[in-house]
A and B are shown apart, each in its own frame.
Chain A
Amino acid sequence: MTRFDQHRPPSREVETSIFQYIVAAIFLWLLTGFWQLQVQDPEVYEQRATLNSVKSLPIPAPRGRILDRDGRVLVDNIQTFRMMLSKDAVRAESALLIAEGLNIPYEELVDRLGTVGIQRGPDYQQVVLKDGLPLSEVAFFEAHRGELPELELIRSPRRRYPLNGMAAHMLGYVGQISKAQLNLEEFVLHESGAEIGKAGIERRYNDFLVGKDGRRLVLVDSRSRRVRDLNREEAEPGQTLRLTIDLDLQVVADLAMGDRRGAVVALDPRNGEILAMVSKPAFDVNAFVGGVTEAAWRNVARDPDKPMLNRATQAQLAPGSIFKPFVALAGLMEGAVDKDFQVLCTGGASFYGRYFRCHRAGGHGWVNMEEALRVSCDVYFYNLGKELGIDRIAKYAELAGFGSRTDIDLPAEAEGIVPSSRWKIRFFRDKWYAGETISVSIGQGALTITPLQAAHAIGGLAMGGVWHRPRLIADREAAKILANYSPPEPRRAEITEEQLEPIVRGMWRVVNDGGTGVRAMIPGRSVCGKTGSAQRISRTLAFENDDPRLLDDGWFIAFAPCEAPEIVVSVLFENGEHGSWAAPIARDVIKAYFDKQERRAQPRRQPDQPAAPQTAKAEISRP
């Protein structure tokens, strides 16, 4: 005690009480912190806590299946794994690991992460990073789940299309909705990241095929490991769509076309139902599902053969001689000629100071309408065209459906062109020169049509003037999926038996009487047809150029049976040189149609026959 100052106060009262005030002040200061967080606005932090621990994961709804007219599956779904990326959790550090594990090129990934960062959604949104993950990548994710909270793996159904691009153009394909499509009225119900039909039936009937995605609220820990499900809203699958397509005919048409460029359309003229639709070259749609790489897309888009083009509805080409039946119809209905009117073909004729050649240099001699159709005499139709004038030709061409969309239920159908004096003034601000009519009367000049229009037009003519709107969904099916659906009224014209007869007879002789379409002949069946060989450029130019892409296009239109048509086929064989080369393709399809009818007509079961082949047959026709 002696070491210490005796006169000091017993303790450091002033200092210690100052310290007490400091303690009190600090504690009050700390308390205000808790007051602000816990009493003033705890909701903010409760929300943040929920965002932390509750993940909302989509349960993708399977799209509806697409069936053929007999119920056979054309488009189905398979289960795959899909990697989702949370927009608001993307970290730059993760990119390298993700790129390595999911086999995405690093630059591409960074590029995509960058755009994801920019287009921040209004709230917690996820985009598809990769679809159809192989099991090795699924394993990678499971191993690195804790390091990659921005990723989430979900099961998702994936579209499975027919192999080798069969019916690819008609069926279309699905893909993630693009930024431009988000603004279209067609896709108003879809959000960013949604899978939509991008083409064909998939696009046209997207609203029916698309289901309603479910949602799953999952409680996760800080390492994104699932603790438990909080809430589950199941997905509603999309509606099944049954098409008018007959898979048997589609396969035959596809095989018959082989590697040729062109298109085949088969339809039932009695109701407009499309039985087969082929466009070649095709592309493997399965490669498009789940996002297509830019390089692969460029390849397809820049291919000079234009595999993405649905030639059946989008190729607009001069019809050549397959237009002649419609000129004949105009001539008969306008009374410009009768069926016995004859023309002397000497291999060409002069009109308005220009010499127009017939395709047969030696000429056909005296020909009437029937014969002119059989041998496809140009001089006969030059004269008939001159007699009619362009506007009367255009009137009947338009009546047959040329020059406007057939309104088939496929997107982006082409219109083609039916030239007329009005058309000339409207688009060229010029008057029609009579010389131009001569070319149009044999299906050349400015006239262009699509293979679908060809089938539609000749079908309606063969039916005696009843043009049904071509359709891929039968009325019965459409009534099921569409509210207050009423079948569209066919377009009609009064064609008398006398007017129709010479045309049908002429077309019958094309196939069955040594005409240009003998390759379409089917013994025991009455098939009517007409070939067409349409020039792409003038003969002289074609002679100078040795480009196979400048060769004439071959066309063939046919219907059968001639007296009561059940099937119409139109074939376009690009650069096929002559329509007679397109004829066998049409024959194959028509033959397949009648063969199938015959098979069906046979009695289903015979009492003394073993049961096994019977069931096998039933499975094939109706699985």
Chain B
Amino acid sequence: MNEQYSWRDFDWTLLLVALLIAALGALEVYSATLSTPWHDAYLRQILWIGLGLGLMWVASTIDYHWLVQHAPTFYVLTLVGLVGVLLFGTVVNGSRRWLPIPGLVNLQVSEFAKIMLVLLVARLFAELPKGRLDLSTLFKAGFIFLIPLVLVARQPDLSTSLSFLPILGMGIFLTGLPRKYIAVGLVAATLAAPVGWFLLSDYQKDRVTAFMNPEEDPRGKGYQALQSKIAVGSGGIWGQGFARGTQTQLRFIPEAHTDFVFASYAEETGFAGVLIVLTLYFGLLMRIVNNAQTAADPAGTQICMAVAALLLFQITVNVGMVVNKMPVTGMPLPLMSYGGSNTLTVFILLGLVNNVRIRRFTN
């Protein structure tokens, strides 16, 4: 492989936007944890961002074609890791998500599984000619995705396992599905929805119910959704000021530095701050799509678009939850929520996008 790219080809715009969002995120983590015992969380978050930048550079340098080729190997390794989580994982809040690495940190394998799936979907679909997706490939892909999805859902971590779906969905979307399949799929999805309801566990059902009517039980299940709404609303246009939001500082917002970091941010910076960050996210996604469009080959396009789809899904679910347009789930907001595994994963994913960009002229 020819390694003839320079720093000039690096996607500085992508990096700048991502760093701006991450910096605002770290600031809000600092503010939201000020009055808590874990008020040094922002320092660790900065550490994660730094580490993420390094991994992003690593992910940019290894040719994505090689990575795509070896996706099946990564797949097997990931499955081993996920099974390991179920067997040896640490239990936090009744969910077994973290694999303890001796002497190091706890790794959330399901986060890193997303990277593997992005590569795998490129491997599965990029070779196919447009509009030639046949049923056997579709079932094969579905089966391949189903295994990690079930393993993660068993932890249980529904929101992470669901976030695998947009990666697969983007693969199918880009390859192009014959119309009859689309029709059949829609009918099947409609029929599957009620069945799926029965498969949900009680706490998941409660969350959906609480989402439909948060005021019904303000101190119970709907508490998080309601407190988030109150925090966002009390921010007004200009916000209550950095580190001065009462709902954030008095800890009425649940998980104010992780899942609900955007509620804290919205309270303290108001609509103006929200507009800035959403614009940055929009720019980030547009930049990734732009890289997809200039990619040298369908595999590159597939990688970029899968990353975009995944990020869009996470942003939508998380921000939607904060404004009560989505049910409450444990979905972290990419680049802003506190957390090692998810921060590293997002930077590695952006590294893959950059990887594709750097090599856009190599063919």
Which A positions have Cβ atoms within 8 angstroms of B? 1, 3-5, 8, 11-13, 15-16, 19-20, 22-24, 26-27, 29-31, 33-39, 41-42, 44-46, 48-50, 52-53, 89, 91, 219-223, 227
Contacts and interface: CB of A to CB of B under 8 A. Distances in A.
B130 A35 contact: no
Contacts of A31: 274-275, 278
Given A1-B297, A31-B278, A52-B247, A38 B237 contact: yes
Contacts of A53: 246-247, 250, 252
Given A49-B247, A52-B250, 17 more contacts: A5-B130, A12-B298, A15-B305, A23-B308, A29-B325, A34-B274, A37-B229, A38-B233, A42-B233, A45-B232, A45-B233, A46-B234, A48-B234, A53-B246, A53-B247, A53-B252, A221-B252
A10 to B, nearest CB: 8
10 contacts: A1-B363, A8-B130, A12-B130, A16-B293, A23-B312, A26-B316, A29-B325, A38-B270, A42-B237, A222-B251
B32 interface: no
Given A4-B297, A222-B252, A27 B278 contact: yes
B246 A15 contact: no
A11 B294 contact: yes
B297 A16 contact: no
B286 A30 contact: no
A48 B170 CA distance: 41
A223 B251 contact: yes
Interface in B211-252: 219-220, 227, 229-237, 246-247, 250-252
B117 interface: no
A52 B292 contact: no
Contact of A37 (B129, B246, B252, B323): B323
Contacts of B312: 22-23, 26
A30 B247 contact: no
B219 A91 contact: yes
Contacts of A29: 325
A19 B282 contact: no
Contact of B174 (A15, A33, A35, A52): A15
Contact of A49 (B174, B231, B295): B231
A19 B126 CA distance: 18
Contacts of A15: 173-174, 176, 305
Contacts of B275: 31, 34
Interface string B289-329: 10011110110010001001100100010011001110000
B251 A48 contact: no
A6 to B, nearest CB: 10
Contacts of A33: 319-320, 323-325
A34 B271 contact: yes
A34 B277 CA distance: 12
Contacts of A30: 278, 316, 319-320, 323, 325
Contacts of A27: 278, 281-282
B218 to A, nearest CB: 9
Contacts of A34: 232, 266, 271, 274-275, 323
B278 A45 contact: no
Interface in B244-273: 246-247, 250-252, 266, 270-271
Closest 6 CB pairs of A and B: A45-B233, A33-B323, A49-B234, A42-B236, A221-B250, A37-B233
A117 B361 CA distance: 71
B129 A19 contact: no
Contacts of A91: 219-220
A45 B234 contact: yes
Highest count of chain A CB atoms <10 Å: which of B281, B286, B292 = B292
A44 B236 CA distance: 10
Highest count of chain A CB atoms <10 Å: which of B233, B235, B251, B281 = B233
A418 B286 CA distance: 102
B336 to A, nearest CB: 14
Contacts of B293: 11, 13, 16
B14 interface: no
A29 B292 CA distance: 24
Nearest to A94: B219
A548 to B, nearest CB: 60
B124 interface: no
A42 B305 contact: no
A24 B237 contact: no
B233 A3 contact: no
Contacts of A24: 282
B35 interface: yes
A227 B278 CA distance: 33
A103 B102 CA distance: 49
B127 interface: yes
Nearest to B249: A221
Contact of A42 (B174, B234, B252): B234
B115 interface: no
A220 B130 contact: no
Contacts of B174: 12, 15
B233 A19 contact: no
